Copies of this chain bind each other. A is one copy, B any other.
């Protein structure tokens, strides 16, 4: 089959990775790297390439060989660039966040649906072997009911010029959550607090609490100022608990048969009952073998597959929209002193589980 012609837009921090992995994907044919600074695009391509550099986005959209564009520019430019691409009949892969506004994101989702084009968000983590396994464990029932989620993503990070730490880092955690939770379960409301202790003009440290539709509390801690790098997510379940330490290559994922159990209530009084029925599981830990695969290559393969098969990508525009709506709710919460903000207030409708919304679409 003929490969799909691709243009990468944006030669900044992430663009070079798209360029590299697109070139390693047989189902894609990289035609262009486009950046306002054409020299930068050329430098990214290097002196040995047959790929063309350009500073003209229009030229890319006019090229009939180009079937899809992959956009890795600042978030503020996403709405215009994605819309133009969809209007030009191109499929789109776009970096997170989809756009900085739920309302605009919803427009893009609608436009793609109307045009029958693939609109895919590069929620890269959803394509890692670890997250795939977590999704499988949760949806396969192996961990039981999710009881709590705790995610820490801290780092000495680049203070971004255009987004705060919530919009920079929390999309990872929120998109993962969106991906691994069972059908029909999602984030219903969000509360967040943050601070800017270095006077950077935007939040550098933030704590986000997401209330799931099941009543479960998920907590996300993002921080640009930590001298140590931590990327750990704990998903507590009624049967097992998952600990994902993404920086531990030896043991990225561990499934603990450890926890507190409460037997179903009998005929005792409330307090005695609880005492009597609490028990502790201290079983084995299983570290599942994970394949070694680069997530971004899987993103590229999924982009090509979704286009070819005429179906939504696994991390489609709707998932991007859900994440943006949650982030917008978080920002509102911060500005109102940490109050719980229903996601519905942002998006005007209930968008919880991925499959549920797909049905409704």
Residues B217 and A193 in contact, CB atoms below 8 Å apart:
yes
For the complex, give the distance between the alpha carbons of A241 and B228 in Å: 10
Q: Which B residue's beta carbon lies closest to that of A224?
A: B260
For the complex, give the distance between the alpha carbons of A142 and B79 in Å: 46
Q: Which residues 202-220 in A have Cβ within 8 Å of B in the complex?
A: 204-205, 207, 209, 215-217, 219
For A194, the chain B residues whose CB sits under 8 A away are 217
Q: Is A13 an interface residue (CB 8 A)?
A: no
Residues B30 and A198 in contact, CB atoms below 8 Å apart:
no
Q: Is A289 an interface residue (CB 8 A)?
A: yes
Q: Is A125 an interface residue (CB 8 A)?
A: no
Residues A274 and B147 in contact, CB atoms below 8 Å apart:
no
A214-244 Cβ-contact flags toward B at 8 Å (1 or 0): 0111010101111111000010101001010
Residues A227 and B198 in contact, CB atoms below 8 Å apart:
no
A275-295 Cβ-contact flags toward B at 8 Å (1 or 0): 100101011111111000000
Residues B46 and A159 in contact, CB atoms below 8 Å apart:
no
Question: Nearest Cβ in chain B — how far from A316, in angstroms?
Answer: 29
Question: Nearest Cβ in chain B — how far from A90, in angstroms?
Answer: 21
By CB atoms of chain B within 10 A, which of A249, A260, A340 has the most?
A260
For A287, the chain B residues whose CB sits under 8 A away are 254, 284-287
For A257, the chain B residues whose CB sits under 8 A away are 289
Residues A201 and B250 in contact, CB atoms below 8 Å apart:
no
Q: Is A344 an interface residue (CB 8 A)?
A: no
Residues A221 and B219 in contact, CB atoms below 8 Å apart:
yes
For A256, the chain B residues whose CB sits under 8 A away are 227-228
Contact of A46 among B23, B225, B288 (CB under 8 A): B23
For A161, the chain B residues whose CB sits under 8 A away are 271, 274-275
Question: Nearest Cβ in chain B — how far from A237, in angstroms?
Answer: 10
Q: Is A309 an interface residue (CB 8 A)?
A: no
Residues A209 and B197 in contact, CB atoms below 8 Å apart:
no
Residues A147 and B225 in contact, CB atoms below 8 Å apart:
yes
Residues A199 and B289 in contact, CB atoms below 8 Å apart:
no
Residues B340 and A278 in contact, CB atoms below 8 Å apart:
no
Question: Nearest Cβ in chain B — how far from A142, in angstroms?
Answer: 13
Q: Is A262 an interface residue (CB 8 A)?
A: yes
Residues B228 and A243 in contact, CB atoms below 8 Å apart:
yes
For the complex, give the distance between the alpha carbons of A251 and B234 in Å: 17
For A254, the chain B residues whose CB sits under 8 A away are 287
Contact of A337 among B150, B223, B283, B340 (CB under 8 A): B340
Q: Is A139 an interface residue (CB 8 A)?
A: no
Q: Is A195 an interface residue (CB 8 A)?
A: yes
For the complex, give the distance between the alpha carbons of A197 and B209 in Å: 15
Residues B198 and A260 in contact, CB atoms below 8 Å apart:
yes
Q: Is A191 an interface residue (CB 8 A)?
A: yes
Q: Is A339 an interface residue (CB 8 A)?
A: yes
Could you list 7 examples of A-B contacts with CB < 8 Å? A148-B225, A150-B226, A193-B209, A225-B241, A227-B256, A228-B234, A285-B289
The 5 closest A-B pairs by CB, nearest first: A227-B256, A147-B197, A285-B287, A227-B258, A195-B217
Sample of 5 more A-B contacts, CB < 8 Å, known A156-B258, A200-B260 = A198-B262, A205-B217, A225-B241, A227-B236, A339-B339
